[in-house]
Structure 1
Amino acid sequence: MNDEAKQRCVIFDTDMGADDAWALQMILKAEKSRENVKVLAITTVHGNATVENVIKNTYRILDGLDRTDIPIYKGATEPLIPEETKIGMSFGSNGFCDVEFWKPHYPTDINEIIQRQNAVEIIRELVIEHPHEISLICLGPLTNIAMAIKTYPEIKKDIKDVFIMGGNCKGRGNALAGSEFNFYMDPEAANIALNSLKCPMTIVPLECASEIDISLDWRFNVLGSVDHTNVQLLNEIEQIAYRGKQFYTPFDSLLVAVFLFPEKCIQTKYNYHATVELQGLHTRGQIVFNLNSSKHNVCVIETVYQEETKTLLLWAANA
């Protein structure tokens, strides 16, 4: 899976639940296997868990890959306009289905894990240091991104591209009736990102991921059989998360697969002008497409190739 393209520098923005863990596993396998991918920083954001738990979860996955050299930065702890304390519960209260994973030799103070700079500052610094070379991989609410471009608007012209897991394209919801979780968790931030950034933006929406029907038998008896410390942990987490469900849905790793291997993964995609609904009782956070506008600002991935997705998950598991 080697690619001779120019090096792609990445800021990995995450609310680290189990699906984010697979995404991180995949992109670091790519960094190990392909010289043109480099993760410069991991920025953490509220969403699947509190930021403190997101930091711990991220450190555990990095430790399992022997990559604790990658710096972690603390980001936004709540939405831009918090209506209430909202934490996703798909993966328990800690983002890892409340599985106990903290090893005795790990730091007891998360300040020993994170860098002194915060997420907004490092986004600015890295974009300025690497103009037109930084790809933002966004797996959670877009609060850090919105804060960065509102605090330092000069960086907007120098971001290479943005890849977003979130939103919806057919009115389906998993937070409200018509809203996807990541956008619902901070609709204002999503709206700022979509309406402020001029660089290419790619979105993998809820429906794209939800229409994949990978069997749980394949997930646990094929993917889950890989002998890797992170896979063993994720087996335990996802046995809980997928209890009573029919299919396995690797949301965030789909975004990384699309980023790394668009030709292999993307089946259908469309360009639209998109904004975000901020007021709806059942649709706050829903993507709204202006089909009459030719000023497209997002590329929406409608479908991906399922077998290629499974191949890439197995590839990542053997990191």
Structure 2
Amino acid sequence: MVKKMLFFSDFGIDDNIAVLYAFFNKDIDLVGVVADYGNVSKQDALRNAAYLRKLTGRGDVPAFAGAELPLTGDPPEYVPDVHGIEGLGPIIPDIEVDYTLENFHGIQEIIEQNPDEIIIVNVGRLSSLAAAFILYPETMKKVKDFYIMGGTFNEPGNVTPVAEANFYGDPYAANIVLTQATPPVKIIPLDVTSGAIVTPALISELDEYYQSIGSEVGKLVKPMFDYYYKFYKERNPELTGAPLHDVFTLWALVKEEHVVYRDIPVKIVVNIGEAFGQSIGDFRNTISKADYPVHKVAVNFSYTEFIKDFFTTMKNSNTHNGTG
């Protein structure tokens, strides 16, 4: 069954590859994207969204201007060493953009026009999604499901020893979302996404295919991935590939039968200190658990199915949604 997805993203490298995965996937109807600060500035995220719309020929997908700052009030810290100055690795997009694009309030219209059908997937900071709960509390009750890439529970953090980047970047926003969202959020943490390793060999094979069919949008994948992999390899020389956190989150949406979840009470640490931004889950095998909101936390998945589907879907660049 085709899933209507509203995608919140900060349009770094793995985000951009995830958007292409969504464009090429026959099971995803991408009804809109919200471009946020995070990996890059909000303005660069909007520009990247417009660039991908142009290359894929999907100008029908609205791009909404999201948050520019976290709810902490602190200036955001971008990560060009991971995603490149523009968020596209070494690629410099040649496109002029109206940085306002569609107004953020347009997401309310999409949800109201499709009650109990829209699935929100958030793979960046949660500032915009938290704002939606503040601005449109009744509308957000009409969202069918939430998938959030963020947090880490039984693995180390990636920005502090205990905190993952999306939750750490705005724990106040993460706290709002996880206390207000109904139904329970499907949380896709580092515990599983760090295992979603894609190898350079697989990317090179895809690139050969894109070159052979002349897919301009497909030709973006290898240079972006190579930049991203170089960062991960320098940080951990033992890695054989790079984790595509955001692609994994979309795969979990369309291949939910291959992901294992547990119903876990979850809390986000918002107090300034060593644990700031930490996601705490009560994984104890006891009847009595912490009085936190209960969400579905991904704990395991089929790597074989993930890789198989990623490769198959990314070869759809000239047959579905994308242009050759």
TM-score (norm 1): 0.87
Separation of aligned partners in 1, 2:303 and 2:208: 20
Map 1:104-253 → 2, pairs under 5 A: 106=95, 108-111=96-99, 114-115=101-102, 117-118=103-104, 121-219=105-203, 221-227=204-210, 228-243=215-230, 245=233, 246=239, 247-253=241-247
What residue number does 1:316 align with? 313
Residue 156 of structure 1 and its aligned partner are, at CA, apart by 3.2
3-state DSSP of counterpart to 1:298: strand
3-state DSSP of counterpart to 1:136: strand
Amino acid at match of 2:278: Q
Number of aligned positions between the proteins: 299
Separation of aligned partners in 2, 1:201 and 1:85: 25
**Any unmatched runs of 5+ in structure 1?**
none
Separation of aligned partners in 2, 1:129 and 1:69: 16
RMSD between superposed Cα atoms in Å = 2.0
Separation of aligned partners in 2, 1:93 and 1:234: 17
Residue 64 of structure 1 and its aligned partner are, at CA, apart by 2.4
- Runs of at least 4 residues off by over 6 Å: none
Distance 1:262 1:85, change over 3 A: closer
**Any unmatched runs of 5+ in structure 2?**
234-238, 284-288, 318-324
Distance 1:193 1:269, change over 3 A: same
Match of 1:66 among 22, 40, 57: 57
3-state DSSP of counterpart to 2:146: strand
What residue number does 1:9 align with? 4
Q: Is the 8 A contact 1:171 1:179 kept in 2?
A: no
Q: Deviations over 1:116-154 (max 9, x none)?
A: x22xx1222222222211110111111111001112221
3-state DSSP of counterpart to 2:31: strand
Separation of aligned partners in 2, 1:225 and 1:302: 34
Q: Deviations over 1:91-130 (max 9, x none)?
A: 022211242232xxx4x2434x712x22xx1222222222
3-state DSSP of counterpart to 1:229: coil
Query: Are 2:271 and 1:279 equivalent residues in the alignment?
Result: yes
What residue number does 2:304 align with? 307
